[in-house]
Chains A and B, each alone.
Chain A
Amino acid sequence: MAIYKRLYRPYAGRYTGHRFRFWVITKSALRTLFDSRFLLAFFVACNIPFVIFLLIIYITNNAAAQALLQMKGSPILIDNFFFLRYLIFQSTLSFLITAWVGPGLVSVDLSNDALPLYLARPLTRTEYLLGKFGVIFMLTSAITWVPGLMLLGLESSLGPIGWFQRYYWLFGSMFIGSLLWIAVIGLLSLTLSAWVKWRIVATGAMLGIFFALAGFGEALNQVLRTNWGHVLNLGYDINLAWFNLFRMDSVTGPYNKPAIGRLMELPSWAGWVSLSLLCAFCLLMLNKKLKAREVVR
C-alpha cells in the first residue's frame, strides 16, 4: 500500500500538451459511460447490422458461399443505395445511443456547478465542448463511418472488377454523410443537455424535436400548399443531404420510387442549409450557456 506524506508540495513535474487536453474530458466520460452494462450491451448490439451487411457482401461476392446456401446468384445489388441503406440503419441506432448518452453530458456539470472548475484550468470553453462532443463522436463513429468504410473496403476488394473505379467516391460520401449526422445529433443533444437540466426531459425533447418538427412541417405543407415545410423535418433534411452525397438522383435499381420521389420535391441544398442552420443555432445556444459564471441582467 502506498504511503502518502501529509504535506503540501508544489508540482515540479512535466505537463501534458495543450492540443489534446480536451481528450481528458472525453476519456473520463467514456470510462464512466461504459461502467453501465446496459450501454455496453447496446453498443455491442449496434454493430450487429454491420455483421449482417458484412455477410451480405461476402456472400454476394462469393460463388462458393452462394452454392453452399443453394442460391442462384445474389438478389442484392451492392451499389450506392446499398451503402446508403446501411448508413440510414446505423444512423438510427446512433441517434438512439446519442439520445441516451448526450443529454447527461453537460447537464451533470451545470447541475453540479462544475464549469468554473473546468474553466479555471488551462481549458477553453471550445475545448470543453470539444471534449464533450468527442464522447458522442467516438460512440457514433464506431457504429457509422468506421464500419461503413470497412464495408466499402471489403466490397472494393471482393467486388467485381471495376466496382471500385465506379464507386470510389462512396468512401467520401460515407465519411462526410456520417460526420454531418454526428454533428447534427451531437450538437443538438449537447444543447439540450445544457439547457434542460433533467436528463429524461432532455432525451424526450430530443425525440420531440425530430417528430414534432416533422409534424409541424407537414402541417405547414398542407396549410400553405407547399413542399418547403419539409425543411423543418430533420429526418427529411438529412436524407436530402445523403441523397445528394450518395448520388441517388442517378440510381437505377428496383427501389422504393415514391419515397425517393418525395425526397426529390426539394433541392438538396435545402437539406444542407437547414442542417447547417440548426448546427449554427446549437452552437449559439451552447455559447450562451457554457460560461463559468452566468451574468444575471
Chain B
Amino acid sequence: MTAVIELEDLSVRLGTKQVLDSLRASLKGRAIGLLGPNGAGKSTLINTLLGFYPPTSGSAKIFGKDISTHTKELRHVIGFMPESDSFIADMSGVGFVRYMAELSGLPANEALERAHEAFYYVGLGEARYRKVGTFSLGMKQMVKLAQAIVHGPQLLFLDEPTNGLDPPARLRMIALIKEIRDTQGIHIILSSHLLRDVEECCEEALILKDGRIAAYCNLEEERRSNKKFVELETVGSKENFTQAVEQLGCECAWFPTGRAKMVLPENISMRELYTVAAKHQVQIRKMNYRRDSLEDIFLRAMEGQYQPQNKAAQNGHL
C-alpha cells in the first residue's frame, strides 16, 4: 500500500525558529489525526505539505509524489479547510464554492452543479444564495468544508474543523468528517487540539511536540492492545478456572482476595472468559481492562514516555 504521506527528514525553519525538525514518517491511514500543543508544528506541517512553506531540508511525498516537484499535480487531488476564517465575504455561498471549484480545474457547469451539491451535503442548501459574510461562525465552518470537498479531492486537510462550533454543530461536523472518511478513495488529515475529535474520526494519530514527532500510533491497535490486559475479581474455586483459561492461551497471575491479572491472546474475547467462569462456577465480580484513551497516549507522549508500537514514524536523529 502506498503511503498517503511520507516525510523524509523533513525540516522547516521559519525565520530563526526551527519549526519542524527532521520528521521521518510514513502515514498510511484513511484518517490521520495531527495532534500537539500550540506551537508544536501541526499547522506548519500542513502548510508545508500544501507547498506554502519550502522545506529547509529533507522532503515530503504525497501519494508517492514529491511535494516540491509535483505541486500543481498534487493540488488537484488535495482539499484544504484552513483554520482561519478564509472566504470571500462579498460572494454568495454557492458562488464562492463554485469559484473555488473552477480554480481547482472543474469546468464552469460542473463546478456550479458540484457547488450546489456540496452546499446541500454540508446542510446549508437553503442558505446557499446568501453572502458568505452574513453567515454565522458555524455556517462559515461548513462553507469552508464545502469548498474543500467540492472538487472531490483524494486527500483532505482539515485544520481545526470544529473550532468555534457549538455542541450540536460540532457533532454534525464530526458526522460529516466520518462520512467523508468512509467514502472510497479519500484520506483525511485532521489537525486538532481537541483529542476527542481525533479519537472519534481518526484511525491513526501523529503527535508532535516542539516540531518533532512525539508519538505515532494506530488508535485501533492501541484500543485492541488495551483489551489484552485484564484485571479480575472473582469468587469461587480458582484452580479449575485457571487451568481452563490457561488452556485458552491466557497468562494468569493470582493475588490475594481472588484478584487476578490476565494477558489475553489476540483471538480470545472477554465473553469467553465469562463462559469459562460460568462453566467452573466462578463468579466474576469485577472486570477491568486498561482503557488508555488518546489523552493518556498524548500525555505520555508529551512527557516523552510513550513507547510506540508503530515504528513508521520517528525523528531523523533517533
Answer yes or no: A166 CB below 8 A from chain B CBs: no
In the assembled complex, B186 has its CB within 8 A of some CB on chain A:
yes
User: Using an 8 Å CB-CB cutoff, how does the interface string of B99-112 with A read, 1 for contact, 0 for none?
Assistant: 11011111100100
Residues 97-131 (chain A) with a chain B CB within 8 angstroms: 108-109, 112-114, 116-124
**Across the interface, which residues of B come within 8 angstroms of A21, CB to CB?**
103, 105
A184 to chain B, nearest CB (A): 28
A113 to B179, CA, bound (A): 28
Tell me if A122 and B120 are in contact (CB < 8 A): no
A5 touches B152 (CB 8 A): no
Report yes or no: B72 in contact with A18, Cβ–Cβ below 8 A.
yes
> Complex formed: what's the CA distance from A7 to B157 in Å?
19
B192, CB-defined interface residue at 8 Å: no
Interface size on A, residues (CB 8 A): 40
Partner of B99, one of A5, A8, A28: A28
Task: Decide: A122 and B52 in contact? CB cutoff 8 A.
Answer: no
Cβ contact of B75, chosen from A4, A7, A120, A295, cutoff 8 A: A120
Query: How far is A51 from B176 in the complex, measured between Cα atoms in Å?
Result: 59
Give every chain A residue within 8 A of B89 (Cβ-Cβ): 108, 112
Tell me which of A9-17, A59-67, A142-150 binds B: A9-17
Chain A residues within an 8 Å CB radius of B52:
116, 119-120, 291-293
Instruction: Tell whether B117 is near chain A: CB-to-CB under 8 Å.
Output: yes
List residues of chain A with CB within 8 A of the CB of B73: 122
Instruction: Looking at the assembled complex, report how far the CB atom of A289 sits from the nearest CB atom of chain B, in whole angstroms.
Output: 14
CA of A121 to CA of B102 in the docked complex: distance in angstroms? Answer: 10
Q: Out of B50, B117, B121, B152, which one reaches A12, CB within 8 Å?
A: B152
Which of A4, A10, A28, A117 has the largest count of B CB atoms less than 10 A from its CB? A117
Contacts of A295 in B (CB 8 A): 14-15, 53
A216 to chain B, nearest CB (A): 35
Q: Give B203 Cβ to nearest chain A Cβ, in Å.
A: 18
Neighbouring B residues of A262 by C-beta, 8 Å: none
Shortest distance between the CB of B199 and any CB in chain A (Å): 22
- Is B272 engaged at the interface, CB distance under 8 Å to the other chain? no
Closest B residue to A295 using CB positions: B14
- The answer to whether the Cβ of A6 comes within 8 Å of any Cβ in the partner chain is yes
Residues of B within 8 A of A121 (CB): 75, 100, 103-105
Indicate if the CB atoms of A114 and B86 lie closer than 8 Å: yes
Question: 10 tightest CB-CB pairs across the interface, nearest first?
Answer: A11-B152, A297-B15, A15-B105, A120-B80, A10-B152, A292-B52, A4-B120, A122-B75, A122-B72, A24-B102
A125 to chain B, nearest CB (A): 10
A108 to B259: give the CA distance in the assembly, Å. Answer: 68
Given contacts A11-B151, A117-B147, 7 further A-B contacts (CB under 8 A): A5-B117, A25-B103, A108-B90, A113-B84, A113-B85, A117-B86, A295-B14
Are B104 and A116 in contact, CB atoms less than 8 angstroms apart?
no
Residues of A within 8 A of B64 (CB): none
Are A117 and B100 touching (Cβ within 8 A)? yes
Q: Which of A15, A24, A120, A121 has the most CB of B within 10 A?
A: A120
Q: Which residues of A contact B183 (CB under 8 A)?
A: 8-10
Is B263 positioned at the interface, with any CB of A under 8 Å from its CB? no
Name A297's contact: one of B16, B50, B110, B179 (CB within 8 Å). B16
Instruction: Among A8, A12, A16, A112, point to the contact of B149 (Cβ < 8 A).
Output: A8
- What are 11 inter-chain pairs, A to B, with CB distance below 8 A? A4-B116, A4-B117, A8-B183, A9-B117, A13-B107, A21-B103, A24-B102, A120-B82, A121-B75, A122-B103, A123-B75
A9, A122, A124 — which one has the most chain B CB atoms within 10 A of its CB? A122
The CA-CA distance from A295 to B114 in the complex, in Å, is 34
Question: When chains A and B are docked, how far (Å) is the Cα of A99 from the Cα of B68?
Answer: 38
**A121 to B78 CA separation, bound complex (whole angstroms):** 8
Closest chain A CB from B4 CB (angstroms) = 15
> Is A76 close to B, CB under 8 A?
no
- B234: chain A residues within 8 A (beta carbon): none
In the complex, what's the smallest C-beta–C-beta distance from B44 to chain A, in angstroms? 9
Interface residue A32 (Cβ < 8 Å from any Cβ of B): yes
Q: How far is the CB of A39 from chain B (nearest CB, A)?
A: 14
Q: Is B293 an interface residue (CB 8 A)?
A: no
Alpha-carbon gap, A19 to B86, bound state (A): 26
Asked whether, in the complex, the Cβ of A16 is within 8 Å of the Cβ of B107, the reply is: yes
Inter-subunit contact A109/B88 (CB<8 Å): yes
Nearest CB on B from A62, distance (A): 46
Which B residues are CB-close (under 8 A) to A291?
A: 52
- A295→B56 CA distance, assembly (Å): 14
- The CA of A54 and the CA of B99, in the complex, are separated in Å by 40
B26: Cβ under 8 A from any A Cβ: no
- B66 vs chain A, min Cβ distance (A): 16
In contact, A112 and B72 (Cβ under 8 angstroms):
no
Across the two chains, which residue of chain B brings its CB closest to A3? Answer: B120
A117: chain B residues within 8 A (beta carbon): 80, 82, 86-87, 100, 147
| Closest A residue to B47 using CB positions | A293
Q: A2 to B114, alpha carbons, bound, how many Å?
A: 12
> Which of B86, B90, B106, B110 is the one whose CB lies under 8 Å from A113?
B86
Q: Does residue A296 face the partner (Cβ distance < 8 Å to B)? A: yes
A120→B88 contact, CB < 8 A = no
* Distance to closest chain A CB from B53 (angstroms): 7
CB proximity of A101 to chain B, nearest CB, Å: 14
| B164 at the binding interface (Cβ < 8 Å) | no
B130 to chain A, nearest CB (A): 16
Nearest CB in chain B to that of A128: its residue? B103
B105 touches A8 (CB 8 A): no
Q: Tell me, rounded to whole Å, the shortest Cβ–Cβ distance linking A291 to chain B.
A: 7
In the complex, residue of chain B having the shortest beta-carbon distance to the beta carbon of A131? B103
Choose one: A8, A109, A120, A292; the contact of B121 (CB below 8 Å): A8
